[in-house]
Structure 1
Amino acid sequence: MTTASAAPVDVAPSPTAVPEHERVWLDRVAALLPELAATVAQDDRDARIPLEHLEALHATGLDAAFLPREHGGEALSYATLVAVVRMIATAHPSAATLWLMHLGAAHALVTLSAPEQATFFASELARGARFSNALSEPGGGNLFLTSQTDAPATDAGWSFTGRKMFITGSEVATHFFMNARVDGHRGFFGVTVDDTVSFPPIDETSGMRATRSRGVAFAATPLLKERLCAPPAPTYANLITVGFAFISIGIAEAALAQLKASATKPKPGATATLADAEWVRMETGMAWAEVEAAKALAERAAWLADQGDEAWIQASTTAKMLANEVAKRTAALMVRVAGGGGYLVKSPVQRIQRDAQAGALMAYSVPFSQGLVGGWFLDEA
């Protein structure tokens, strides 16, 4: 079976639209989408990092363009960031996740490091080095920003021995954005992969398989004093947090596209299609509206980030929570409409359905986010 075409790149006019002078970047990404879509099924089956697609995205100049101007970038907007994530996710969700994690780690290191190290990491990103986040620890759950491992002091700074979990794209990474507890406080570092870093046998995920999300072991890995990052300003909006909802939105849009392909496909000898059934039309209408609502909420979070408004964090958490659940519901409807054919391994339906589950499990998970969002509302004066 052939994967249905993803949702169109252009959307209705919006107050959070991509600035006109930045739309060239969307055109460059759009040109790569057919190649991304062409390998998504095989990459999933092989649990293979699609490095060629990540390199193609880098070759457009996109990665470096998101850096601050003082580091050779164009300081592209969060509106452009989320539009790019959504576009890639409709075609290849694992590639979208890999790209967002890579860019978020690099951007954080450039933004939060001391000047000399910031210049180093910016040059590394520009030359094509890969970045990843080494934050989650066994048993850490949603508290991935608070390391539970004490790093003993050394002459050069500190060293880390332990494991990090669910590290996306770690096998191709040159540098990690990594955390540890140092001198009783949490610290974030830029860490270059060396022979103290190893990769135990992978326990593969059932969805988003091409991210190769996995555990990594560290044995006295140096945490250099000069690579200790400064705390982020309240107005600094982490790219991953702002963009995360759009991975689920892209998956939901791909589910809608596949639903439509299944519903409108003529059946041999039939005079009508499933698209003519009232229950399909009614439930599709609600699914479409939910996806649009999740997208509008997530775009608002990006707008707040572009304004430097501290409310971006609450808006992003709320948007991710909603988008994760909408993706799951939309995928479930897609499976019902596709019927038995969608259950076949060769069908894109089963892959989209598996991918749709991932966002709700990734920190902050939906249950954790629900508690946060409910508390913000109930405790508000």
Structure 2
Amino acid sequence: MPVSPTPFPIADREAAHIATVRELATDVAAQAAERDDKAELPREALAALHEAGLNKAVLPANVGGEGLSYVAYGEIVRTLAEADPSVATIWTMHSGAGVGLSQLTAETKGSFYADEFLAGRHFANALSEPTSGNRFLNPQQAADEVEGGYQLDGAKRFVSGSEMADYLMVNVLVDDAPAFFAVKPDESVTIIPIWDTLGLRATRSQLLSFNKTLLRHEDRGRALGPGDFAAVPAGLPLISLGVADAALASIVDHTTNRMIMGKPLSHQQWVQFEVADVQSRLEAVRAYVFQTLWQADQGDYNALINLSRSKYLANKIAVEVAQLAVRIGGASGFLKSSPIQRHLRNAQAGQLMAYSTEVLAGEIGKHVLNVTEGA
């Protein structure tokens, strides 16, 4: 079923980018099952996005790009995620790292990284580490000062697209405070092949080992600021929304074509009731997420705090729609030939991505109940 269009205005050039992504999504979706089965990086799909000008579009205008609005960016990520959430995840992380390094190092090498991003080099986020859990912006690994910069011995996990990364965005503790660096992988950075997972298999989010890796002074960035384009926090809820949309589409397809006692399964009242419930709540979550993105576009950067709630709600509804698809699909939904099993695995993966639903629930609950640390 068609997704309700966003009620928020977008520029004509942004509408053109969205239309382009919708066209590309057909081929992306056609290859999603094979990529999932082989856990194969979607190199062609990512190259097509670059050739279509999406990297230039997402790069903020103040660092040499077009500067997509949050609303347009959200619809692009959602569209990609409906087709293949692994493609959407890698592109979101690539955008987050490329845009982030262009912004955070703007006073030093930002223009270089912006040019590399525009030239089609691949960027990856290497922020999450085994010792920090979900708190990927609060690293526990300290870098020692050496000639020319700092030296990192440690590991980063779940680095999506790491095997094709030309540059990494890395954070470490410097003088007990988080610091961000750009790293060009060399012989000191080793990929530990651990990726054999249930969901988002084509992201190939490997573990990276850093052995005395030099973090150069000139590649150090400033701290994240309220005016920076938050590609990853804004993109994560939309990945789950796309998975939910894909799962709902599989329900519609299955119930329309599956005959029970001479009638399509869609004629059964329990199916209608269950679908009405999840579809209505999915639309409510969608409205909340895009309202938050629109507020961010208006300069209300406090709205970015609501992206945590957006991710929580989107993660939850994606799992619920996918679980209903399994119930309705029955045993056939377990078959490898069915997209239903893939949607369920991808939905579960979304809520494990930082911050996980459990961590977000704790933060949201504390805020609602006015609970402060140490009180």
Q: Note whether the superposition's TM-score is higher than 0.5.
A: yes
1:45 and 1:17 map into 2 onto residues whose CA distance is 39
Q: Which moved more, 1:197-206 or 1:243-252?
A: 197-206
Q: Which moved more, 1:195-204 or 1:84-93?
A: 195-204
Secondary structure at 1:218's aligned position in 2?
strand
Structure 1 residue 120, shift from structure 2 partner: 0.5
2:183 and 2:220 map into 1 onto residues whose CA distance is 10
Query: Where does residue 123 of structure 1 map in the other structure?
Result: 115
Deviations 1:10-48 (A, max 9, x none): x3451x343334200011111111110111000000000
Query: Where does residue 245 of structure 1 map in the other structure?
Result: 237
- 8 A contact 1:134–1:176 mirrored in 2: yes
Pairwise mapping of residues 142-161 of structure 1 onto structure 2 (< 5 A)? 142-161=134-153
89, 110, 114: which one pairs with 1:97? Answer: 89
2:209 and 2:138 map into 1 onto residues whose CA distance is 18
- What amino acid maps onto 2:65 in structure 1? G
1:106 and 1:323 map into 2 onto residues whose CA distance is 25
1:311 and 1:233 map into 2 onto residues whose CA distance is 12
Q: Which moved more, 1:295-304 or 1:318-327?
A: 295-304
Query: Where does residue 27 of structure 2 map in the other structure?
Result: 35
Large movers: runs of 4+ above 6 Å: none
Instruction: Name stretches of at least 5 consecutive residues in structure 2 with no aligned partner.
Output: none
Structure 1 residue 197, shift from structure 2 partner: 0.7
- 8 A contact 1:237–1:313 mirrored in 2: no
- 8 A contact 1:197–1:219 mirrored in 2: yes
Deviations 1:246-289 (A, max 9, x none): 10000000000000111111427x32121111110011001101
Structure 1 residue 201, shift from structure 2 partner: 2.5
- What amino acid maps onto 2:180 in structure 1? F
- What amino acid maps onto 1:376 in structure 2? H
* Aligned sequence identity (%): 38
1:331 and 1:230 map into 2 onto residues whose CA distance is 40
2:79 and 2:5 map into 1 onto residues whose CA distance is 15
Query: Where does residue 303 of structure 2 map in the other structure?
Result: 312
46, 51, 72: which one pairs with 2:38? Answer: 46
Query: Where does residue 106 of structure 1 map in the other structure?
Result: 98
Query: Where does residue 12 of structure 2 map in the other structure?
Result: 20
Deviations 1:314-354 (A, max 9, x none): 21000100000100000000011111111111111111111
Pairwise mapping of residues 316-335 of structure 1 onto structure 2 (< 5 A)? 316-335=307-326
- 8 A contact 2:334–2:340 mirrored in 1: yes
Deviations 1:128-164 (A, max 9, x none): 1000011111131111111111111011110111110
CA RMSD after TM alignment: 1.6
2:117 and 2:158 map into 1 onto residues whose CA distance is 22
* Residue 302 (1) aligns with residue 293 (2): yes
Structure 1 residue 64, shift from structure 2 partner: 1.4
- In structure 2, do the counterparts of structure 1 residues 66 and 237 end up closer, same or farther at CA, with 3 Å as the change threshold? closer
**How many residues are matched?**
372
1:58 and 1:164 map into 2 onto residues whose CA distance is 26
Secondary structure at 2:35's aligned position in 1?
helix
Secondary structure at 1:339's aligned position in 2?
helix
Pairwise mapping of residues 250-265 of structure 1 onto structure 2 (< 5 A)? 250-265=242-257
Structure 1 residue 234, shift from structure 2 partner: 2.5
* Residue 339 (1) aligns with residue 339 (2): no
Pairwise mapping of residues 154-173 of structure 1 onto structure 2 (< 5 A)? 154-173=146-165
Secondary structure at 2:31's aligned position in 1?
helix
Instruction: Name stretches of at least 5 consecutive residues in structure 1 with no aligned partner.
Output: 1-6
Query: Where does residue 354 of structure 1 map in the other structure?
Result: 345
- What amino acid maps onto 2:2 in structure 1? P
245, 261, 286: which one pairs with 2:277? Answer: 286
- What amino acid maps onto 1:132 in structure 2? A
Secondary structure at 1:115's aligned position in 2?
coil
1:12 and 1:210 map into 2 onto residues whose CA distance is 28
Query: Where does residue 4 of structure 1 map in the other structure?
Result: none
- 8 A contact 1:63–1:103 mirrored in 2: yes
2:82 and 2:165 map into 1 onto residues whose CA distance is 24
2:68 and 2:24 map into 1 onto residues whose CA distance is 19
Structure 1 residue 56, shift from structure 2 partner: 0.3
Query: Where does residue 367 of structure 1 map in the other structure?
Result: 358
Secondary structure at 1:311's aligned position in 2?
helix
* Residue 213 (1) aligns with residue 197 (2): no
Structure 1 residue 380, shift from structure 2 partner: 8.9
2:33 and 2:96 map into 1 onto residues whose CA distance is 26
2:35 and 2:88 map into 1 onto residues whose CA distance is 13
